[in-house]
Amino acid sequence: MKRRVVVTGLGVVSSIGIGKEEFWKNLTAGRSGIGEVARFDTKRYKRHFGGDIKDFSPEDFIHKKSVRYVGRATQLGIAGVKLALEDAKINPAEMDERKKTCIILGTTMPEDDLIDHCTGNLVSRKTKNISKNDILNLFPHSLIHNISHFLKIKCNGLLIPNACGAGNFAIGYAFDLISKGAYDLGIVGGTESFSRIAFQGFQAMRAMAEQKCSPFDKNRQGMLLGEGSGILILEEYGNALKRNAPIYGEVLGYGQSCDARSMTIPQKEGVFKSMKKALDNSGVSADKVDYISAHGTATIANDKNESAAIKELFGSRYNNIPVSSIKSMLGHTMGAASAIEAAVCCLAIERGVIPPTINYETQDPDCGIDCVPGVSRKYNVDVALNNGFAFGGNNCCVVFKKPGPAVLNGLT
């Protein structure tokens, strides 16, 4: 019999707040973290707005002498992990390999600031400015190593580079490992720094809006880039009860699909399949879903196809299910996106509030869903579905459920 897996800690670092409380306050107030990019000079670009974090100080989470040894994605990840462990009432110093802990994180292109640094110096032939440490931290797996090292967590780690769906893939894989007894606790989610490469790339694809991200709006112009980290502590249900841990929700299951068609355009069939698999794997019927955290990038193709898949899966009740996109406030945080959105699902379940989709002005008949426009909504959420879709058609959806009496009293 599979063991139950619950969420006992949340750590969020974003452009609208660092820590779950500040993040949630600003999210439900509909505040935007989008502004003129400060991470680098954008004068030579056509676009100048994004969701880079203006008030993040890595020294708040890691010794100042150590900051220079890691890239920004790792710094954001360390902050998210530290916040999540504190929220779960877990002291990293008390963790060891006997606790059967794993760290599984998702990302897209970690440490792009180091890539910029190294390539810039190579082009200008200033190779002496490239240190051994720079090279070592260019490897994607260094992200997991550095987080474990600087927080002194002895455990097994895995990096999942499945782009914009990576956070959900990490949650799903950890769910399998814990439910089957391989591990008792998982530190999972995603982290991503604001990337010059992605900033230029999305402009080259003409997928980036000028100043605002408007998911599901008829006049949407595209996505905006963001950064941050979203970390969840997943724990075997019995252990969580024994130590009287806070429980935000239960992970019921997940579903994956791969379109294997277009690198950049999500397919309705693949989106539908991943949502359907998530519900089937969780043992949840479509009429039990109360809230959908949309992938909602504000590109023409994504919003149209995601909406069409929702309509097909949920039938006549599709317009009675609130579907919001927090990318309207944060921008697209890439590898951290679905992880932050998973934290949103847990908080929506715990607090009975659904965050809004801001910048929504004109209904698009090709979408036509209830996207909770403009203002957050008090709403009882028992079951939430979190959507995460990535380039290459790599889709992953996760189902969360409220920890009601049936869960809390169900331990045998």
- Residue 301's pLDDT band (boundaries 50, 70, 90)? very high
**CA–CA distance from 345 to each of 249, 367, 382 (Å)?**
9, 22, 10
Percent of the chain scored above 70 by pLDDT?
94
Mean pLDDT of 254-259: 93
Q: 263 vs 67, which has greater pLDDT? A: 67
- Cα(116)–Cα(303) distance, rounded to whole angstroms? 32
State yes or no: pLDDT of 61 exceeds 80: yes
Lowest-pLDDT range of 23-27, 121-125, 140-144: 121-125
- Residue 96's pLDDT band (boundaries 50, 70, 90)? low
Its pTM stands at 0.94
State yes or no: pLDDT of 313 exceeds 90: yes
Domains and CATH numbers, the chain: 5-242 (3.40.47.10), 254-402 (3.40.47.10)
Beta bridge partners of 50: 35
State yes or no: pLDDT of 79 exceeds 80: yes
Q: What is the pLDDT of residues 115-134, one digit of tens each?
A: 776 677 677 777 777 776 76
- Residue 409's pLDDT band (boundaries 50, 70, 90)? very low
- Residue 13's pLDDT band (boundaries 50, 70, 90)? very high
- Cα(134)–Cα(117) distance, rounded to whole angstroms? 9
State yes or no: pLDDT of 406 exceeds 60: no
State yes or no: pLDDT of 44 exceeds 50: yes
Cβ-proximal residues to 405 (8 Å cutoff; 6+ apart), any chain:
none
Instruction: Please identify every residue annotated as catalytic.
Output: 164, 295, 332
State yes or no: pLDDT of 284 exceeds 60: yes
Specify the pLDDT at position 411: 47
Residue 204 CB neighbour total at 10 angstroms? 10
Percent of the chain scored above 90 by pLDDT?
75
Three-class SS string for the chain? CCCCEEEEEEEEEECCEECHHHHHHHHHCCCCCCEECCCCCCCCCCCCEEECCCCCCHHHCCCHHHHCCCCHHHHHHHHHHHHHHHHCCCCHHHCCHHHCEEEEEECCCCCHHHHHHHHHHHHCCCHHHCCHHHHHCCCCCHHHHHHHHHCCCCCEEEEECCHHHHHHHHHHHHHHHHHCCCCCEEEEEEEECCCHHHHHHHHHCCCECCCCCCCCECCCCCECEECEEEEEEEEEHHHHHHCCCCCCEEEEEEEEEECCCCCCCCCHHHHHHHHHHHHHHHCCCHHHCCEEECCCCCCHHHHHHHHHHHHHHHHHHHHHCCEECCHHHHCECHHHHHHHHHHHHHHHHHHCEECCECCCCCECCCCCCCCCECCCEECCCCEEEEEEEEHHHEEEEEEEECCCHHHHCCCC
Mean pLDDT of 104-115: 82
Residue-averaged pLDDT of the chain? 91
Mean pLDDT of 288-316: 96
